[in-house]
C-alpha cells in the first residue's frame, strides 16, 4: 500500500511539473559548436572530425576542443592556480543547482569596438530604473555584441574590442551575493584587458561566482526569467561548454 501511494505521489508530482512547464517556452542561449567559431587567440580551437570504423556500420565523430569552447562556463579552478587552495573548485565539483535560478538581464550598448568598461555606476543606475539584483541571482549582460559572432575569418570582428566588466563592477556583483554572471562576449573582462588585469575574473571566480561567456539570443530574454545551464561533468575541468536556456511565459506554442 505504501509503495502504491508513493508511486501515485511521484506520478502526481511529475504531472504537476509537466503542466507547470507547459506554460513556458524555452529560449536557447547557446552557440552552435562548429569548426571555425571564434576563440581567444591563445585558447584551443574546436574540431569535429569524422571517425569511420572499419567494421562498425554506425557513424562516429571525434571531438577536439578546449573546456572553454563556444558558450561555456568558467569555474573557480580557471583562476585559482594553487592546487592546495580550497577555492580551486573544478567543473565536476560544481553542484547541479549552481546555474539554475532567477536571472536578471541587464541591457546595455550597443558599443563601438573600443573595449568599453562597464562600471558599477551603470549597474546601479540600471537597478534604479528597473529592478534590484538580489542574492543568488544569475546576472546576464546583453551588450548587443552577439551580432558580431561569425565563423573566422569574419568572426575575428567578434574578438576586436569587446565590452566587459570592470573589477569594481564585478566586486559590486560579488558583494551582492550573485551566484553567476554571464555575458554575450568572448570574455567577462573587456577586450583591452589581459593577464593580471583580468580583474572581473579575479573578483568573481575565487569567490565561487561562476562566469558564463558567449551567450546568445539575449534580446529575446525578458528582464526577469528562470535560467538553467548544465556543464559537462569534466573531472579536473576549469570550465565546460554549456547548453544554457531561459524559461519565459509561453504566449504561443512550445519550442
Which position has the grid cell 569534466?
A: 234
- What pLDDT score was predicted for residue 2? 66
DSSP class per residue in 212-248: EES---GGGS-SEEEEEEEE---TT-SEEEEEEEEEE
- What pLDDT score was predicted for residue 4? 67
Quote the pTM value.
0.94
Q: Which residues on neighbouring strands pair with residue 212, listed in sequence order?
A: 73, 182
Max Cα-Cα span within the chain: 68
- What pLDDT score was predicted for residue 254? 41
CA atoms within 13 A on the CB side of 191: 21
How far CA 82 is from CA of 18, 43, 92, 171, 238, in Å, comes to 45, 21, 18, 22, 13
- What pLDDT score was predicted for residue 116? 98
Q: How far apart are alpha carbons 75 and 154 in whole angstroms?
A: 29
Kindly calculate the radius of gyration of the chain based on its CA atoms and give it in whole angstroms: 20
Q: What is the mean pLDDT of each run of 10 residues along the chain (255 residues)?
A: 76 91 95 97 95 88 96 97 92 97 97 98 98 98 98 97 98 98 98 96 98 98 97 97 96 53
Amino acid at each position: 500500500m505504501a509503495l502504491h501511494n508513493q508511486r501515485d505521489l511521484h506520478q502526481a508530482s511529475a504531472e504537476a511539473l509537466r503542466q507547470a512547464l507547459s506554460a513556458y517556452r524555452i529560449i536557447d542561449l547557446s552557440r552552435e559548436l562548429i569548426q571555425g567559431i571564434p576563440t581567444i587567440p591563445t585558447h584551443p580551437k574546436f574540431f569535429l572530425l569524422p571517425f569511420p570504423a572499419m567494421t562498425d556500420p554506425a557513424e562516429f565523430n571525434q571531438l577536439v576542443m578546449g573546456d572553454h569552447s563556444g558558450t561555456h562556463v568558467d569555474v573557480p579552478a580557471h583562476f585559482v592556480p594553487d592546487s592546495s587552495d580550497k577555492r580551486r573548485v573544478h567543473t565536476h565539483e560544481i553542484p547541479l543547482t549552481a546555474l539554475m535560478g532567477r536571472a536578471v538581464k541587464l541591457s546595455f550598448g550597443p558599443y563601438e569596438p573600443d573595449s568599453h568598461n562597464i562600471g558599477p555606476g551603470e549597474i546601479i543606475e540600471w537597478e534604479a530604473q528597473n529592478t534590484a539584483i538580489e542574492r543568488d541571482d544569475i546576472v546576464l549582460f546583453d551588450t548587443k555584441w552577439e551580432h558580431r559572432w561569425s565563423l573566422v575569418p569574419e568572426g575575428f570582428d567578434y574578438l576586436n574590442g569587446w565590452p566587459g566588466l570592470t573589477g569594481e563592477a564585478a566586486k559590486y556583483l560579488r558583494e551582492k551575493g550573485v551566484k553567476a554572471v554571464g555575458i554575450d562576449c568572448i570574455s567577462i573582462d573587456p577586450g583591452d584587458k589581459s593577464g593580471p588585469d583580468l580583474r572581473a575574473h579575479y573578483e568573481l571566480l575565487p569567490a565561487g561566482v561562476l562566469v558564463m561567456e558567449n551567450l546568445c539570443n539575449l534580446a529575446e530574454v525578458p528582464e526577469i526569467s528562470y535560467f538553467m545551464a548544465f556543464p559537462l561533468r569534466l573531472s579536473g575541468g576549469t570550465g565546460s561548454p554549456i547548453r544554457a536556456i531561459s524559461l519565459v511565459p509561453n504566449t504561443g506554442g512550445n519550442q
